[in-house]
Amino acid sequence: MVNTKFDSCVSFHINNNAFFGRFVRLDNVINTILSKHQYPKVVSSVLAESIALAALLASTLKYEGLFTLQTKSNGPINMIVIDISSDGTIRASASYDEQRIENAKKLRKTEDEHEEAPHYLGQGYLAFTVDQGGTDKMYQGVVEIQGKTLSECALRYFKQSEQIDTALKLYVKEPEYPEDKWQSAGILLQKLPNEGGTEINEDEVKDSWEEAVIFLESLQPQEIFDSNLSSEVLLHRLYHSHQLSVSHNKDYKFGCRCNREKLRTILSNMSEKEIDSLSEKGKITAECSFCGEKYSFEKGELIKQ
Ligand SMILES: [Zn+2]
């Protein structure tokens, strides 16, 4: 029994290993990340949903190092950066224009109308990279931000680049009451390429794929965000008649990779003039955009001798 609930990813196979999936549910890790920032609600929501997507994408790759999902676009939220290291440590930040967020909200027909992520991101692209350090090649995927939802945008990537049949759904739940938590989740299903060897009936595979996708889409937010239900129980509800097998994939936690020495090196590479323009009373203070940690340097520490 894989008794996993939140802040983790489970892998599953159905239909005699013909289709494989990943199921990610996040709560504490999202809340810790968001507590490091004071983002407007819509920014928190887009970031929480993007982190679920990043976790799903990272979970489909075999890597030792760092996975990064980044958006760059012309909307009110113009950049998102999410890092997931292979041990499950996540950090994330967003940059946005407060006035444009307010203006975008004014265009809503009703106060509670929920706009999807692409509405706030605008035009641009979503890219991900895998950095394994050393001499290992950096893997990169890019897709334009298009579609009504972030899921649609991610599906375009799989269609264009990977050409693997993929179904994917993302979910985000905002806190309704002060004691509530943020939650986000994502589920992905892929048709594994037939490696040959076994005779398969294409029509049968097509039918069972379509059925598996319909079942995936039947998953309801209230089930996903029910903290009494394990991920395996939820998958069992969908696929108990599909030779389901489930295994634990990864746990997630918050962590930042910033440190004083790294930042000192970056600042030391600036010219004396730039350092002067940043310093106040001979001191330079810089804040990590991921975790909010403040670092302070004496001017003398930074200027190359
Ligand atoms: Zn940091």
Q: Which residues pair with 250 in a beta bridge?
A: 9
Q: What is the pLDDT along the chain (305 residues), one digit of tens a residue?
A: 556 789 999 999 999 899 999 999 999 999 999 999 999 999 999 999 999 999 999 999 988 999 999 999 999 999 999 999 999 999 999 999 999 999 888 877 776 677 899 999 999 999 999 998 876 678 889 999 999 999 999 999 988 887 889 999 999 999 988 889 999 999 999 998 776 556 678 888 899 999 999 999 999 999 999 999 999 999 999 999 999 999 999 999 999 999 999 889 888 898 888 888 888 888 999 899 999 999 999 988 887 65
The enclosing H or E element of 10 equals strand 8-14
d(CA 91, ligand 1 centre) in Å: 8
Q: Indicate the CATH number for domain 260-302.
A: 3.90.1280.10
This prediction has a pTM of 0.92
| Strand 253-254 versus strand 89-96 pairing type | parallel
Strand, coil or helix: what is 154? helix
Class of domain 8-254: alpha beta
Strand, coil or helix: what is 220? coil
d(CA 153, ligand 1 centre) in Å: 29
* Cα 56 from Cα 82, distance rounded (Å): 12
* pLDDT value, residue 198: 61
* Cα 246 from Cα 2, distance rounded (Å): 7
* pLDDT value, residue 124: 97
d(CA 259, ligand 1 centre) in Å: 7
Tens-place pLDDT, residues 217-263: 999 999 999 999 999 999 999 999 999 999 999 999 999 999 999 88
Single-letter amino acid, residue 18: A
d(CA 55, ligand 1 centre) in Å: 19
- Residue 236, judged by CB atoms within 10 A of its CB (0-12, 13-18, 19+), counts as middle
* pLDDT value, residue 121: 95
d(CA 294, ligand 1 centre) in Å: 9
Assess contact for 82 and 92: CB atoms under 8 A: yes
Q: Where are the domains of the chain?
A: 8-254, 260-302
d(CA 36, ligand 1 centre) in Å: 10
Q: Is the dihedral of CA 188, 189, 193, 198 positive or negative?
A: positive
d(CA 289, ligand 1 centre) in Å: 7
d(CA 162, ligand 1 centre) in Å: 33
Query: Which two tokens mark 168?
Result: 């994917």
d(CA 152, ligand 1 centre) in Å: 31
Tally of residues, the chain: 305
